[in-house]
Amino acid sequence: MDQEMTILRSRRRTLSLEIQADGRVLARAPYGMPAEEIEAFARQKAEWIRKHQQMQEERRKKTAGEPPLTMEEIRELGERALEELPKRVANYAARLGVTYGRITIRNQKSRWGSCSGAGNLNFNCLLMLAPPEVRDYVVVHELCHRKEMNHSARFWKEVENILPDYRQRRAWLKENGGRMIARMTGENR
């Protein structure tokens, strides 16, 4: 590979590549995997890497000049999220037939939501900058983890059963999410 790559090892079983906010490549790999194998995988994925770095640069250009959110604005988004998201969670949990624990609102730089093994849900306050149907997608996504704690075909089928158009909602978030996060961090992602 002709550029620097960071390798992060963990107990995972698979190898994956990620393009970080600054355009660098991050390889997530199992502990025992040889560096040569990781580098060969990255060389094999060179076109994918180039394409995603280019997309990221295009998004960065689109967001240049958008004003960063003030702490007061972030606080207001958090308050709005605390008011609205638990209602959405209750509605969709009933439709899915699942239970959940506590709901926490955070201002995160990389996640829109998460679901712990105990059923506690976390949501990013920046979701309040997204359309309501995108907020619903994130809520349903996290609640479906109460049935499937992975992203298997069965998981996505659960999401689709509730939101047949989830792909469009997910695409909106992928296309516009970086711009929203850039406003929180003051970076041009």
pLDDT, tens digit, 9 for 90 and up, residues 38-86: 999 999 999 999 998 888 787 677 666 678 899 999 999 999 999 999 9
CA angle, residues 143, 149, 155, in degrees to nearest 5: 70
CATH 3.30.2010.10, the chain: domain bounds: 71-185
| pTM of the predicted model as reported, rounded to 2 decimal places | 0.70
Kindly report the average pLDDT of the chain as a whole number. Answer: 91
Phi/psi of residue 78, each to 5°?
A: -60, -40
Which tokens belong to 45? 């994925």
Phi/psi of residue 16, each to 5°?
A: -140, 160
CA angle, residues 155, 122, 87, in degrees to nearest 5: 85
The correct CATH number of 71-185 out of 3.30.450.20, 1.20.120.1150, 3.20.20.70, 3.30.2010.10 is 3.30.2010.10
The H or E element containing residue 185 is helix 166-185
